[in-house]
Structure 1
Amino acid sequence: MQLWRFFVAMLTITWMFAGIPTIVAARSLMSPEMAAGIALNSVIGESDERIGDAAPALDAFEPDVAYNPVTNQYLVVYVRPRAGGGTNEFEIYGQFVDAATGELVAPTAADAELAGTAFRISRNGNDLASDPFDAYSPAVSYSARDNVFLVAWTADNTNPLIDCNNPGAGRAGYRAGGAYEIYVQVVAADGELLIRDECGNPSDDRISEINVLFYRNNFENRNPDWDALSPAVAYNSQNGEFLICWSDDRANGFLSQSFAEQGGEFEIRCQRFSLDPHPNRRFIGQIGANDFLISRAGFNTGAAGYVRPDYDAVTPAIAYNSVDNQWFVVWSADNNASGVEDGEFEIYGQVLAADGVQAHLLPDIGANYRDDHRISQVGETNACANASCDAYRPAVAYNPDRNQYLVAWFGDETNGFEEVYVSLRQATGFGTSVSGQRVSFSSNGVDNRFKGLDVDVAYDAFNREWLVVWRGDPTVNDRFEIFGQRFNADTDGSVPLAQIGGGNFLIGSTPALGPAAFQANSSGLARPLPGGEAETAGSTTLNPVNWHRVAPRVIATETGRFMTVWAGYLNGVAADRQFEVFGRRLSFVPPTVQLITRSDGATETPLNDGALLNEPISELRITFAERLRNGAVATGYRLYAGTVATCSSPDPDLIGTVSVTDATTTIIPVTQPLPDGQYMLLACATLTSVGGIALGSDVAVSFTIDTTPPALDLPDSITAEATGPAGAVVTYSATAVDAV
């Protein structure tokens, strides 16, 4: 068997695996029908990989992640205090992570502003010693066409007026702290910030336009404190542009209240952002309709007791449909249509054309996607179809192979029993689809103190599967960890999604934040919420208007591998309140063999299939791309004399001992050194990674050892007279006998 047959379609990237911590609990992570199963999933790394470098002196939180296939790196963006600034001046930072090794990679851009290996992205406020302006809730997406990232966030920036001739004069602006808008920055693959101001310095590009122009003028330069929060961003690979959506409570002219009374009612708005070249700058920036409205929460004015600001649409998420060149935007809202009431949050969605035109104006779109299409039906079957049962903070991913979306959220089908759910949606709005399938099993309907919260989802084209991640506390109340569940994505949606690899599996082993840890404190995490709401355990856990704090985020590389990031305690002690960003790399492909070497006891040399060796061998070593769960089991390998052998061949073979160091298995033959002859070394398909993914097939290498010279039978010396200028032709016979 040739090695290349095993390597077809595999990426031979060095990924070091570590074991999944054993979950010992009196409570089950799985549904009863799965309780007997084993979760076979691969978590890479010795432990949670620390990504942020703010703690212990400062805090880092609210991460998001995107993948660059060109550099094989992830960009993780998160919130932390500005290096050199005050403890309460928060900015957006980025960190490159090598997808193969997990190593933190510093940017190579010449003017990158570093904090360790992380680099600053946002330029919020005045950069003074005491700066009241903050940036939060970053979201990131990658453009393969331009090899750049777009990072969006919310901030109460100053919109400073800059004097390029007198930079030391300070930066003046009209904004006041606490009024949040959406900003973006384009980040190159080397960390260079490509959006610049007129002085050539990195500059945040404001996307939303709430507290400016008409509003500012009508309020005589006073800030009305309307906010744009929770940005989401996705990339259109056909048009080379991004879509940014958010939730804001600006005054809207169609409301019935007087102008001075408007605000406080959140809707979803979006803006397209182009990467096409511009004559005067590298990017055009905002294109198309400005801050266009896509949600209609509370638009049913015929409702009894109608008070428009009581209805909100919040926390959007976006997926791009590459087959139809469309967007699908989802959000959580307490609409007053489709049978819901004030305070009863459900998940809604809207299909948009690439240019932002809404679905009700598109041809060939089913009735399911006309305006605010309701996706979740929380509590409908449990007599809890009211404000006591809700669906919050949706996530969405797209499957181009089936032209389907998977929408995920957390909610309480029964009052107080919060778990994670998913709904499979057909892109056209027609046909059957799975709706409200339960994913997490923290409470199992027994104890509502145990929850599944804060969900994200990604699609892997390599294995055609979905990965859903969330935080939950299924074993110890308020000890939240990061969990995952894989689902088969190659389905028409007529039946519930089939789980892959068993039930819910543990991803993170560093405690994430529990609800009690969300209370406002003096360590740098206190910040205002919409409407002046106090930041308490209840508001952060349940209030859908609030920003994500520890919600895990996941990205797929489309090679069977994922990266999940979240915020958690640095040392697991809640009282210390030191938050940091962590991540785990996951792999769901067979553990490939990277290298096979042989040693004579002094030197080590690669061993190739079919090699002829003239040196003795005392050791053979197989290095895998991951650590193996059963790597030290001798029966996982075979060493036979001859060239025809399989892992099913009967024992005994020629292996004396097997030992493992990290991902390398060392095989010591019985006889030292191996005698001359032909051999076959096999790594058997029964070998698995520490997460349980089996070797795809037997890996075999044949080689020949020939250290003994042949025995030659040569004629005696022959003397012949030349018969011409070229000499003479002499005929003789010679034979050789060789052991190999």
Structure 2
Amino acid sequence: MYKKLIPPVALALGLLAITAAVALSWSVVDPTTGAGPDFMVSLPLNDQADPSVAYNPDDDQYLVVWRDDRGNDADIYGQILSSGGIPQGNNFVIAGATNEQSDPHVAYNSTDHNYMVVWRDKRDGANYDAYGQVISYTGVLSGSNFAINTDGGDQKPSDLIYDPNANHYLTVWVDAGDDRVEGQLLSPAGGLIGSNAFTVTNAGGDRPRAAYNSNRHSYVVVYEQGDDIYGQAVAGDGSLSGSAFPVCNDSAEQATLDLEFNSTTHEYLVVWRDKRNGNWDLYGQRIDEDGNPQGIEIVICDDSANQYGPEVAYNSRVNQWLVAWVDHRNLSAGGVDIYGQRVKNDGSLATQGNFSIYDGPNDQSSVALAARPTTTGAEYLAVWEDRRSDDGLEVIGQRIGASRGTINWHDFNVSAPLENQICPYVAYNSTDQQFLVVWQDERGDGTDIYAQIVLTTGIPISDNIVVQDMGSHQLVQPAASYSPISNTYLVVWHDQDDGDIDERVINADGTLGSVHSVSISGTQPAVAYNSTANEYLIVFAGPATGDKDINGRRVAADGAFVGTVFTISVNAADQSLPQVDYNATDDEYLVVWSDERTDQGDIYGRRVGADETLLGSGDFLIASGADAQGAPSVAWNEDVNEYLVVWHDYRDSGVTGADIYGHRVAADGSLLEDEIALCTASEHQQYPRARYIPAYGRYFVVWQDNR
């Protein structure tokens, strides 16, 4: 027998889209269930911005790095992602010194099988300096942060390129003190190659970018010179090859550039934003290894709105470039978006034309690209900073098919909170057609209760809400319900340190009411809303330690208590894991729980009147199969006035592990027909949650599955 009784993971986001299917606007929803793709709900606080990304072909993975403001100052964070966009481990801190660290750039070292990151750093409190860090392919820091250049004035690295032939790096920046573009070769461990940085141009220059030439084992650095774009060839040893050359010196302004080398045709594509038509458009120019123009300039995007911040990556598998940028064409309707354009090796544009990488709500900006030139499934990964929550910035990623520019899978969060976020519970707001998701969060000193308001499209519309933070206290087992009359939520949880049950009202806009203690000793809370009285019933197991009984307390929609704690079930053995739903037809509740009065666990229930009266002849047995039954859930069916109770069941644990069973229960507590084996797959299926969806006329049951 395998018995595992822990606080149940509450109704997770698998039902989120189903609950309000009529309000969904995802373009990729399941036509049967209405469920859209998964998305991250627990988000780091403050801003995550300025992303950069590098592809690791040895492990078929990416490292994304960014500036992160979740601490007191801006720091540098990173995240390893599989090629499918799945996080490998957690976000990790790359640089967290005092003052600001920002604008990171990352490159992969195919010889030593690791990464290097460089950034601008203000740890000395005066000027920006150039710093770096070596990171293993698993995301472990190798050594400590190292200084690259700490000369007077500001040094702000704007690119980092790896040379596999010499097994070293080139980083470039503008030295504000001397008003020139400089470069520095770095050893694989971050040591300086040469006693000083070398000068790329001493005639001003801004925003330098570099690309590696795999044919000559050299580089080209391009930069803004006044209102024009210039370039300079640089040998592998850091010496300059020839003189600076113009890439574009049209009489209008050109700015914000990037370039990438085509290893098949041995050409570069330089891209920039250009104001020759009055607004900012995107242009490009192919140049050979010496900087000579190849063909005419390329109009990448001349939409009537403005385009900014172009980035370019080359994918050798399809012998094409992808240019991505920040696009204002939908500014008045929905904000700033991320667009792309594939450019063929001859400089012609792919017939797909400009395409949207992401055009969701609010603003997206600061896009970065990496190419994945695999034999099958060649792709790009675009990452950008995103304000879709209309609050802080987050780092979002999107996979893009290399051959046709398809949007592969859906966009996903890269920046995430540290530590664990577990035990989610969701309540639906039928007035505003949005959800409140609550969970227990370990990002702080103890375990806290957090929440997030989410649209039915899966878009967060606020920053994460700190519902309660008691320092080192362990706040666990959150649950929530919604009052459509008051347009407010009630969140309940258990404080393990104080041993009590607490509750708090959250308004629809995310503002918080006061915290109230429901019981001085209790655990495992659940809550249901009474639409007749506009109040809630909170049920819980208590006391917090020792054998537990099932108790309840009524709470008004504003969080005030209605009466005192009352007992629902008392027995010498343990009663635990209660759940409750409200029957609006009969103005009563059905409370169900796991009960050990006769063996290791059965499922019992009790009808409770809205006035706290215990109805019927007493507790009634719902399930008592061989071995243990536990972790029940209950859903009321308003169409036929009956309930569905579901639980995990160990009667066949020696054969299939824990299974999911259910039983229909009449409004008077009598059992209807036979038990239902909902899932008897191999391994364990546990902690089910049930909801009745009137729009579909059916129940939906979800569970944790280990098959």
TM range (shorter): 0.3 to 0.5
What's the TM-score once normalised by structure 1's chain length? 0.38
What's the TM-score once normalised by structure 2's chain length? 0.39
Higher relative contact order (CA 8 A, sep 6+): 1
Higher strand share: 2
